[in-house]
Structure 1
Amino acid sequence: MAAKTMKSRMPLREAYEAGQLARDVQMAPGSRSLTLSDLLLVEDDGPGARALSLAWPTTWETVAGGRQARKVLHVARPEALGATLVFNGNPARGESEPLKIAVNGHVLTYRDPYGDGDTGVWHHVPVSAQWLRKGRNDIVFSCDGPGGWWLSIAPHREIVLNAPERKAVAGSRSELSVDHGRTWGRGLGPDAEQAGEYMVRLSVRQYRKQGELIGPVIDLGATDAESDGASVAGSVRVRSLAVRATGKKPSGTSVQLHVRTGSSPLYDDASWGPWRACRGGRATPSRADHRFAQWRVTLSTGNPKASPEVTGVEVQARVEPALPAWAKGIRLTDGHNESVRYTSIPFEYERFDLPQLKSLRRKFKLDRVIAGAKDELEAIRRLRHWVATRWDWAPPGHPYPLWDAHDILGRKDGMCVHFAIALMQCALAVGLQARFTFGGFQHATVGGKHQGGHEVTEVWSNQFGKWVYMDATSTRDECFLDRRTGVPLSMLEFHDETMRLYLGTRPAPLEGVRAKAEKRSPRLRVWSKDNARPTEGPAPVRLRWGPVYWMSRNNFYARRRPEPIAQGRVHWCWPGYRVWWDAQTPRKPWFDHHTCRRSDLEWTINQVRFAAEYSDEPGVVTLRLSTVTPDFETFLVSIDGGPWTAVGDSVPWRLGPGGNRIEMRVRNRAGVLGNTSWLELEWGA
C-alpha cells in the first residue's frame, strides 16, 4: 500500500490534559500557552508544622515589647516577579498594635485583617522582590503592644520525624531575642528553651529552571489520529517522523523536543524505545514498525523572571500501512476503548496484600457489610454508612489518633478527618482504591457563622469510571449525585458547583467568602445514610469546597511518615498537600504543590486501553492490552459472551464468520474487576 501522511495537532489544552506528565509546567487558567511553573515556596518548618490552637497542645512565641523573633530563610535565586511573606499566628486577644516586620532591614507594619479571634491562621504580606538576597534573608517580627502577637512554632522533634534529612538544619534558622534584638538565641517559646522553627515562609513568583510536558500517545496507524482507538488497523512502517513546536522563546530560555515510539497503546518499558532528540524538527523512531509515538517538550530558563511559551505541538509522520487482503471483509459494528488519564502527582498506593488491610477486613467483618449489594455504588455506600455509625463525632482526646483505621475504630472519639481515614482504609481492605481529600476557606461565614473546613474520602468507582465523593462523618453520612444523570460527583465537581452557587463567575478572595445563607443546588441530589434512594429536592451545599486539597498517597500502613501533624485539629499547615487552583480559586502562598490540570486530580485507573491489528493469518486480530492499575494482577477477556479468561498483554483473537465480540477488563490483586472495553467485528469470510 502506498505511503500516506498522518498529521496530529491536538489543541494544546487538550494535550495538556490528555498527556502522560506535566512536571513543573503549567497552563494557567485562561491561558493558551504552556509555561514553566511560576511559584516557589521557601520554608523549613513544613514537616513539623502544626498551627497555634488554644484547644490543643502546641507551641508558640509571644512577640511583644523586648521579645522579638527572627526567621532566616535561604533563597537560591533572588530574581523574582514578586514575593509574599506568609506566617502562621495571630494577635493576642485585645491587642490593637500592629505587627512590625523587617525583611532584610526593610520595615513594614501589618494589622490583622480578619479580627474574628480565630487562632493559628495564615497571614500573607506582599513584599518587594527587590528586598530579597541570594542566600540568607532575615525576617524580624516585633510588636510595641503589651499583649503582642503569637507566632506558631514547628517543634524540632516533629520536623525530624517527618523529614530526617533535615536533621542537620532543623531548629537552626529561628531565633529569639528578649532584649530588643541586641542578642539572639535559638531557644524558643515562653521559656526560651524549645527547639524548632517559626512557621514563616516565603512564596516567590519565579519560573522553575526546567519542566516538561509528555503528550498523549499517537496512533500512527489510525485513519483518524484523534480517534478513541476502538478500531482495527494494519501494520505500519514509519518512513519519516517530524515534530514541531510553536511559541515564543525570550532571551535566556529554550525549548527542546524529543520523541519515543512503541508497539503498545500506552507507554511501558518493555515495548517502547528510549527518548530520541528531534534535530531540525526530524525524529527517528526506535523501530520502523512501531505503531505508536509520543512527544516530550522540555522548557528551560536561565532567567527566573522569563519562561518560554509553547502554543502548540504538531506531529507529522510518513507511514506505509500494510493491510492483508482478508481484512477487506471486516466491518466494525461496535466498540469502546477506555481512555486513560494520567496524574502528574507521584501518588503512592497501598498494596492490597498488607497484613493490616487483611486484618481490618477480617476483624470488622467488612465482607458482611457489603454482602448483597446490588452494585458497586451500593457497596461503597454501605461501607460509608457502616463507618459513619461506629461513633458519634467528638474531638479526640490524647493521644491524637493515628492514620490507622485499627486505632480509629478502636476508640469512641474522632472528627471528620478520622471518619475519612477509616473509610479510606476500609475501602482499601475490600480492594477499592480510595484517597483522602478535604477543603475549606480559611475564613468563610454563612449568616455570620464561621464555616471551618471538612475532610472526606474519594473512592474509585469502577462502575462509573471516576472518583466519587463520600462523606462518612457521623453527622453527614452522604454523597451527592448529578440530578440528570444519577452519577455521583467527585470532589472537584462538587467544588465547581460550590463556586457557581456562592460566587457565580467571581474569583474568591484569599481572605475568604461571606454568604447570608446556605445555598441549595437544584442540579444535585443528596443520598444520605442507608436511605433507599436520594432525596428528591435540591441538595444543600455548604460553603466549604472552595479551596480543595488532596493527600498524595494512601499507603499509611506501608509507610507511616511523612504525615501531617494533628490533621483536622488545627489549621492546615503541612506543605505536602496537592492544592487545586483555577480562575476562581487563587493559589495559597503558604503551600507549594498547586495544580490547575484536572487530570492531576481526576486521573483514571483499572481500565483497559487496547490496540487491535490485523495479522497475516486470515481471521486473526491481535490485541495489545495496556492499563494503569494499582496492584495489577491480570487482564481478562471474554469472547462472544463466554467465560472470562486470564490472558497476557498480547491476545490473538480468532474470528468466525459473521459477528464477533471480545470484551476486556482487569483484575487487581484483591480480586476486584475494572470496567470493560470491547470490540465487535463482522467478518464476511
Structure 2
Amino acid sequence: MKLSAAVVLTLVSLACTTNVRADEITLTAKEMFSRATPLNLRLSADGEAIGRLTGELIETDGNAAGYSYKPNEEVLADGIVIEKELRVRLTIHNKALVQVAPTDVRPSRAYLLVGHTGKSMSAEINGQQVPLGEPAKAGNYWKRFEVPVSALKDGLNSIKLRGDGKIWIARNDDHAADDVWKQFVEPSSFKFSSGGSPRSTKLGKNNDIEGEYYVRLYLEGTAHVSSGLFLLPMLDAANLAGKPTASPNAKVKSIRIKVTGDWGGLGSPAIILRAPPQTGHSKEFEFRADESEMNLLATSSKPLPQYFRIQLQMPSADATHHPQLKSITIATEIEAAGNWSDKLTLAAAHNPELPESLLPVAPHEFQFERLDHPRLQQLRKEYQLDEVVKGCTTDLQRMEKLAAWSSQLWAKGHLSEIYPKWDALEILKNHSDGTPIGGFCQQYNIVFLQACESLGMVGRCVSIGAGDHGLKIRSGHEVVEIWSNELSKWIYVDGQAAWYLVDKETREPLDLLELRARQVAHFQEKPYRAAEVVVLAKSPYEWKGFGEFPAFTELRMIPHTQFLDGKLPMPLNQGMRGWFWTGHRVWTDDLYPASVLYSHRITSPRDWNFPINQTHLWLEQKEKPGEVDVRLTHNMPSFEHFVVQIDGEAERSLKGNDLTWSLKPGENRVQVRAVNKLGIAGPPSWIKVAFKPGS
C-alpha cells in the first residue's frame, strides 16, 4: 500500500515586530521540473509527479575504459580464470526509523556486462554456477547476459569467468589524468588458474598489466539513496511571489517548506535548506530535515537567510516501490521597514533564472576551458583566425567560417600511429610525412571548438550514435555544440562535415536534442518538423535526411572542455573503439533509453541544454522611496565584468556585482550583460518598471 505523506520543515526567528507580512508559493511537479536541477530523477508522462530514475550501473573500469595503444587484453584459455569483485547494495537502513528492519531493495533484473570478443563464456557468481544464455549487445562491443538476481548478495560479490577469446582491461596507466586515479584504491580484478595458483592482480598475457577487467553489473528496477537529488533555484524569502522588488532590510521570521507526494513506504525525502556565503552570510548556512516534520527556533546569532536554495533527496526505489514527488509549498514571514512596493509596477522583464549547482557530476557544473588560455591565444595568432572571421557580425557567421576552415585542414590523419592530445596545436603539428597529425571527426571538431574558444565563443563536446535499440544507421560521430549569445541556445555545427541543420520553416539552427527528437519521431513514423542542411564547405559527407548518417539517438556529453592542461578525467582515445567511459553525461527518455553502460543520465531538457553567459538581477528596495539596490549574478565562463544600461543611456562597465538604481517617475528600464575576458558580451537581462511616487 502506498503511503501519502507531507514533509514539513519550519524555521522560526525569535525577532518580534508589528510590521510582518507573509509570502507563499506552491509549485507543481511540472513547474518544479522546469525550474530545478534534477539528478537521476524524471518527470512522469502526465507531468503530475517526479520520480526516481531506476537502473544502477556498478563498475570499476569506466574511468580508463576505451581504446589503448598498449596491450590491454586478457586471453582466455583452458585453465585461466578471471575474477571481478563488485559491491552491490541490496538493503538500506532508514536513519529516521532505527528500530525498523532494513528495507530490501533488490532489483527486478540483473545483467552481467562483459567486454568480450570470444564465442563462449561460463560464469560463477558467489560460488554458484550461473547459466549464461545468448547475449544481447551493449554499446556494440559489450555482451549483456541476464543473470539471476538471487545469485547476488548484499556487499562484495565475486564473479568468476572462464571461456575463450579475449576480455579487455582498463589499464591504470591509461587514465587521462593520473592525479585523479584514486576512486578505486583497492583492485577489484584478479587472475588465477583453475589448477590452484594464487590469484594475482597482475593481468594480461604476460601478467604485467595493472588495471580492471571490463566486467560490470547493471541492476534494473532499483535506485539507491545516493542519487535522486533535486535543487530549486535561489529563492528570496522576501519576494517569493516575484514582485518587482523585495522589501528593504528584510528580516526573515519564518520559513516553512511542505513537500507532498507518495513515498512508497521507503521513508520521507530529506529537505536541505542552504544559504551560500555569496548571499550575505559569513559562512554557508545549512539545515537538514530527515524526519516527516521538524520545527527549529533561530537564535539572534544565527538569523534566517533571506536568499536560500532548497535541495530534496528522494527516498530509495526498488522493483516495487516508486516514490513520487507531487508539489512543494514554500511560505515565509518577514518583518520589513519602509515598504513602498505599492508605488511600483512591473511593466516587462527578461530576467532568466540561473541553473543552480548540485553536485560535480551535474551538467551545469561543467568546467569550461579558460578563454584566455595561452594555447588558445597562440592558435588564434598562429593560424590568423581573426582574418578567417573578418567581416562576420554574428556568432553564427563566425561559427560558419571556422567550421569551413577546420574541415579543410588535412585529408588523412595518423591515428594508427598516434592519438594526439586534445590540443589544436598538437593536432595540427606536422607528422614525419609533412602533413598534420590530424585524425578523424574528434580531431576536426576539437580544432573547431578551440578555434571558437580562442575568439571568445564557448562550446562542448558530444558523442552521437545509434545506441542499443536497433537503429540501423552507421553509428558513432564526435561533434561539438557552440553557444550562441544572439539565439541564447546551443547550436550543432560540424567542424568536419562542414554543415549545420536548420528548421525548414523558421531557418533557426538546431541543437542536438532537437535533432534527436526529430530522428526518433522519423523512425517511429510519427510527425515531426522538417529540417534542412546548410553546407559550409566541400566534405566527404552528404546529409540525406534523418534516416541516414549521422545518428542522433544517443547523446553522450563530456562534462568539461578543460583539455589543454590534462587535469580532469577524459575518455580514453575517444572514438577509436566504442564509448566505454562512464564519465559521459547521457540523455535518456522512454522513447529511446540510454545504454546500460552509463550511469550519469539526464532527463530534463533544461538540464541538458543548460544556458550560459546569462545574468540575473535581484532587486531590493532601499529605505528611500525610488532607490533600488540591484544585485547581479551570472554564469559566464571566463567572466570579466558586467556592462549596465539605464534607460536609453550608453552602456557602462561595472566591476562589482551591485549598483543603486535611482528611479524617475514613470517608466524605468535597467539592462545588464556579462562580459568575458575576451570582450564578448552575453545576452542582455533587463527589467522595466513603472514608478508612481505620489500614489
The question of 1:586 aligning with 2:608 is answered no
Give the superposition deviation at 1:674: 0.6
The question of 1:312 aligning with 2:327 is answered yes
Q: Distance in 1 between matches of 2:411 and 2:280?
A: 49
The question of 1:133 aligning with 2:149 is answered no
The question of 1:276 aligning with 2:292 is answered no
Q: Is the 8 A contact 1:575 1:592 kept in 2?
A: yes
What is aligned with 1:481? 502
TM-score, length basis structure 2: 0.81
Shift in alpha-carbon separation, 1:666–1:43, aligned structure 2, 3 A: same
Q: Following superposition of structure 1 onto structure 2, how do residues 315-464 of structure 1 map, counting pairs within 5 Å?
A: 315-319=330-334, 330-342=344-356, 344-345=362-363, 346-392=365-411, 394=413, 396-410=415-429, 411-442=436-467, 451-464=474-487
Give the superposition deviation at 1:329: 5.4
Alignment match of 1:88 (pick from 107, 115, 119): 115
The question of 1:651 aligning with 2:668 is answered no
Q: Is the 8 A contact 1:34 1:309 kept in 2?
A: yes
Q: Distance in 2 between matches of 1:168 and 1:238?
A: 47
What is aligned with 1:616? 623
Quote the sequence identity (%). 23
What is aligned with 2:191? 175
Q: Is the 8 A contact 1:457 1:470 kept in 2?
A: yes
Q: Distance in 2 between matches of 1:260 and 1:113?
A: 45
Shift in alpha-carbon separation, 1:400–1:181, aligned structure 2, 3 A: farther
Q: Distance in 2 between matches of 1:667 and 1:51?
A: 40
Q: Distance in 2 between matches of 1:119 and 1:349?
A: 28
Q: Distance in 1 between matches of 2:595 and 2:47?
A: 20
Provide the secondary structure at the position in 1 that maps to 2:111. Answer: strand
Provide the secondary structure at the position in 1 that maps to 2:269. Answer: strand
Q: How many residues align?
A: 637
Report the residue type matching 2:63 in the other structure: P
Task: Structure 2: state its 5+ residue gaps.
Answer: 1-17, 92-105, 430-435
Q: Deviations over 1:17-58 (max 9, x none)?
A: 412x43465556667544555443322222322259xxx765
What is aligned with 2:688? 680
Q: Distance in 2 between matches of 1:522 and 1:252?
A: 43
Give the superposition deviation at 1:477: 0.9
What is aligned with 1:510? none
Give the superposition deviation at 1:554: 0.7
Provide the secondary structure at the position in 1 that maps to 2:380. Answer: helix
The question of 1:208 aligning with 2:224 is answered yes
Shift in alpha-carbon separation, 1:579–1:119, aligned structure 2, 3 A: closer
Q: Distance in 2 between matches of 1:323 and 1:167?
A: 58
Q: Distance in 2 between matches of 1:425 and 1:560?
A: 17
Q: Distance in 2 between matches of 1:293 and 1:47?
A: 35
Give the superposition deviation at 1:416: 0.7
- Give me the CA root mean square deviation: 3.7
What is aligned with 2:5? none
Q: Distance in 2 between matches of 1:270 and 1:101?
A: 57
Give the superposition deviation at 1:488: 1.9
Give the superposition deviation at 1:545: 1.0
Q: Is the 8 A contact 1:159 1:166 kept in 2?
A: no
Q: Distance in 2 between matches of 1:461 and 1:204?
A: 40
What is aligned with 2:86? 74
Q: Following superposition of structure 1 onto structure 2, how do residues 215-294 of structure 1 map, counting pairs within 5 Å?
A: 215-222=232-239, 225=241, 231-235=244-248, 236=250, 238-251=252-265, 253-260=267-274, 268=279, 274-277=285-288, 280=293, 292-294=307-309
Q: Deviations over 1:489-510 (max 9, x none)?
A: 22222211111111257xxxxx
What is aligned with 1:157? 173
Provide the secondary structure at the position in 1 that maps to 2:32. Answer: helix
Task: Structure 1: state its 5+ residue gaps.
Answer: 506-519
Q: Is the 8 A contact 1:209 1:304 kept in 2?
A: no
Give the superposition deviation at 1:417: 1.0
Q: Following superposition of structure 1 onto structure 2, how do residues 629-668 of structure 1 map, counting pairs within 5 Å?
A: 629-647=636-654, 648-668=656-676
Alignment match of 1:18 (pick from 28, 31, 35): 35
Give the superposition deviation at 1:630: 2.0
Give the superposition deviation at 1:587: 3.4
Which stretch has the larger CA shift, 545-554 or 279-288? 279-288
Shift in alpha-carbon separation, 1:657–1:120, aligned structure 2, 3 A: closer
Q: Distance in 2 between matches of 1:102 and 1:364?
A: 58
Provide the secondary structure at the position in 2 that maps to 1:22. Answer: strand
Q: Distance in 2 between matches of 1:352 and 1:504?
A: 43
Report the residue type matching 1:243 in the other structure: I
Q: Is the 8 A contact 1:458 1:490 kept in 2?
A: yes
The question of 1:501 aligning with 2:522 is answered yes
Q: Is the 8 A contact 1:41 1:590 kept in 2?
A: yes
Q: Following superposition of structure 1 onto structure 2, how do residues 32-71 of structure 1 map, counting pairs within 5 Å?
A: 32-35=48-51, 38-50=54-66, 59-64=72-77, 66-71=78-83
Q: Is the 8 A contact 1:207 1:306 kept in 2?
A: no
Q: Is the 8 A contact 1:217 1:294 kept in 2?
A: yes
Shift in alpha-carbon separation, 1:353–1:108, aligned structure 2, 3 A: same
TM-score, length basis structure 1: 0.82
Give the superposition deviation at 1:396: 2.2
Report the residue type matching 1:631 in the other structure: S
Provide the secondary structure at the position in 2 that maps to 1:73. Answer: strand
Report the residue type matching 1:503 in the other structure: Q
Which stretch has the larger CA shift, 300-309 or 456-465? 300-309
Q: Is the 8 A contact 2:225 2:313 kept in 1?
A: no
Report the residue type matching 2:634 in the other structure: T
Which stretch has the larger CA shift, 484-493 or 248-257? 248-257
What is aligned with 1:295? 310
Report the residue type matching 2:311 in the other structure: R
Q: Is the 8 A contact 1:15 1:215 kept in 2?
A: yes
What is aligned with 2:121? 99
Report the residue type matching 1:71 in the other structure: E
Shift in alpha-carbon separation, 1:4–1:107, aligned structure 2, 3 A: same
Report the residue type matching 1:246 in the other structure: T
Q: Is the 8 A contact 1:252 1:303 kept in 2?
A: no
The question of 1:626 aligning with 2:633 is answered yes
Which stretch has the larger CA shift, 653-662 or 316-325? 316-325
Q: Distance in 1 between matches of 2:663 and 2:176?
A: 62
Q: Distance in 2 between matches of 1:302 and 1:468?
A: 36
Shift in alpha-carbon separation, 1:87–1:336, aligned structure 2, 3 A: same
Shift in alpha-carbon separation, 1:673–1:139, aligned structure 2, 3 A: same
Give the superposition deviation at 1:87: 0.9
Q: Distance in 1 between matches of 2:139 and 2:606?
A: 35
Q: Distance in 2 between matches of 1:538 and 1:107?
A: 45
Q: Distance in 1 between matches of 2:396 and 2:356?
A: 24
Give the superposition deviation at 1:176: 4.9
Q: Deviations over 1:465-487 (max 9, x none)?
A: 122112111xx211122234333
